[in-house]
Chains A and B, each alone.
Chain A
Amino acid sequence: MSSEARKSPLDQQHNAAEAKFTEFGGWVLPLRFGSELAEHHAVRQAAGLFDLSHMAQLEVAGPGAAQALDYALMGSHSTMPDGRASYSMILAPDGGVIDDLIVYRLAEDRFFIIANAGNRETVVAELTARLEGFDAALADVTEARALIAVQGPRALDIVLAAGLPAAADLGYYRAVESTFKGQPIVLARTGYTGENGFEISIPAAAAADLWSSLLAAGEPLGLVRAGLAARDTLRLEAAMPLYGHELDRDTTPAEGGQGAFMRAKAADYVGRAALQDRKQTKHLVGLVGAGRRAARAGYPVLIDGQVRGRVTSGALSPSLGRPIALAFIDGATPAVGTPVEVDVRGQLAAYEVTGLPFLKRDSR
């Protein structure tokens, strides 16, 4: 692990819990605490506790904040009601994706943004440049705060028991400013697991207290600490994109499976003109395998014996017991049910195109 890798404000807690660590986006983070499969199942059946303090936490404030974000990002931020969250992207002028992010409108003139750790510097630089000329300012508060997620069917019971009563009336993709033991928090009902759950931004110095309070309240309800390994299989089952896999500079939002964001919007935004002219050259599809051999990122996908694309993410789905994968297919989109093969290290494995998400939940 490189010496300059950043550590979470909860690093001591993770060491005490004997976490296995990995480096991700320039941070040292828990990969898993015990069995990552057990952590995955706990999130589906009860709840998991995640430290997401690596993720970039940004504030954009000022009378012109909404208009500035309308220009800087995809999505209509000026028409978002206060307390609403929305999935968004920051595009390059050519329509490629610089990052995907969640935008929370905390007040008329204040937005809170969570971006990917690995893209933090780029997003901060781009946003700062794009805010010029608007009456709005950006603050990068990542290092001053921690981000903790509770995800799973018991998440609401757990955050209530831990002393976060504001969770009681919080709808899906809503956020509210509140306090935990007097400390200012942003409590959001968002997540990256396909389960009901909450993400909580809190000052770094208070993170350990919140972490242990959630554990104490949650462990009797089945809450377990969960690491990045489980987070990845959970998000894959929910077919949520991971930047660097399904999204990157060479991929448009529609190609990355996020076509809903292509809807027309009155305001101009960076990348819009290019998207209108840019032809979609690949499609993101879901694949499910017959055996147990996982197709992994980069493996070629063949249709009728011809290489037609490549896998972007793949794993043996812990919930389904079958290998699942997301893949880019060039040219025409194959229909659901189309048989394909994946070149798994020289051996062809049988897969077929399937609908997304892989795992459908009705817990929202």
Chain B
Amino acid sequence: MTIPADLFFTADHEWVSDPGGPTARVGVTEFAAVALGDVVFLSLPAVGDAVAAGAECGEIESTKSVSPLYAPVSGEVTAVNEAVLNAPELVNQDPFGVGWLFEVSPTAQGDLLDAAAYAPLTAQSD
């Protein structure tokens, strides 16, 4: 299972790029995508919405379940991935790439893990 070394992670299996920079991109990890099964619907915050680190900011639905999405960072949403809204299967196909969810202009970080600290959370529960 892939865990890119340049990303940061939440214990709820979201990833965030560059949480200290001007623009942080957010998605769910490959582990989450595999565990969820085929993603069929996403409810994401809109551009201009404020999200708060650790707070629920959307939903990810697979055929069999609904899971909350938690914001890894606080800040204003600056972009939403329209492609993934139209084709939620991109989350399964490329969770760290074209299956990204939204971007935030971060003002604060939540409890983030680096790749080494996140890896044990994906150990053999699949």
User: Which residues from chain A sit less than 8 Å from chain B, CB to CB?
Assistant: 20, 31-32, 35-37, 229, 232-233, 292-294, 296, 315-316, 318, 345
Contact = CB atoms under 8 A, between A and B. Distances in A.
Chain A contact residues: helix, strand, loop or mixed: mixed
B38 interface: yes
Given A37-B63, A294-B66, 12 more contacts: A31-B64, A32-B37, A35-B37, A292-B40, A292-B41, A293-B41, A293-B43, A294-B41, A294-B61, A316-B41, A345-B59, A345-B66
13 contacts: A20-B37, A32-B37, A36-B37, A36-B64, A37-B38, A37-B40, A229-B37, A229-B63, A232-B64, A293-B43, A293-B61, A294-B41, A315-B63
A31 B35 CA distance: 11
B63 A318 contact: yes
B63 to A, nearest CB: 6
Interface string B30-54: 0000100110110100000000000
Chain B contact residues: helix, strand, loop or mixed: mixed
Contacts of A32: 37
A232 B34 CA distance: 19
Contacts of B64: 31, 36, 229, 232, 315
A15 to B, nearest CB: 12
Nearest to A35: B38
Contact of B63 (A292, A293, A316): A316
A37 B64 CA distance: 11
B83 to A, nearest CB: 15
Contacts of B41: 292-294, 316
Which residue of B63, B64, B92 has the most chain A CB atoms within 10 A of its CB atom?
B63
B90 to A, nearest CB: 13
A36 B89 CA distance: 12
Contacts of B66: 294, 296, 345
Contacts of A37: 38, 40, 63, 89
A295 B38 CA distance: 17
Contacts of A20: 34, 37, 126
Nearest to A294: B61
A32 B36 CA distance: 11
Interface residue tally on B, bucketed by range:
10 to 19
Contacts of A318: 63
Contacts of B59: 345
Which residue of A233, A292, A345 has the most chain B CB atoms within 10 A of its CB atom?
A292
Nearest to A22: B64
A35 B92 contact: yes
Given A37-B63, A229-B64, A294-B61, A316 B40 contact: yes
Nearest to B34: A20
Interface in B50-96: 59, 61, 63-64, 66, 89, 92
B54 to A, nearest CB: 19
A32 B34 CA distance: 11
Contacts of B38: 35-37
Interface string B11-39: 00000000000000000000000100110
A36 B63 contact: yes
Contacts of A31: 37, 64
Given A20-B126, A35-B92, A233 B63 contact: yes
Contacts of A294: 40-41, 61, 66
Nearest to A227: B37
A296 B38 CA distance: 16
Interface string B84-126: 0000010010000000000000000000000000000000001
Contacts of A345: 59, 66
Please name the 4 residue pairs, one residue from A and one from B, whose CB atoms are nearest each other, closest first: A37-B38, A316-B40, A292-B41, A35-B38
A242 B59 CA distance: 27
Nearest to B65: A296
A347 to B, nearest CB: 9
A294 B65 CA distance: 10
Nearest to B92: A35
Contacts of B92: 35
Contacts of A233: 63
B72 to A, nearest CB: 22
B76 to A, nearest CB: 23
Nearest to A39: B38
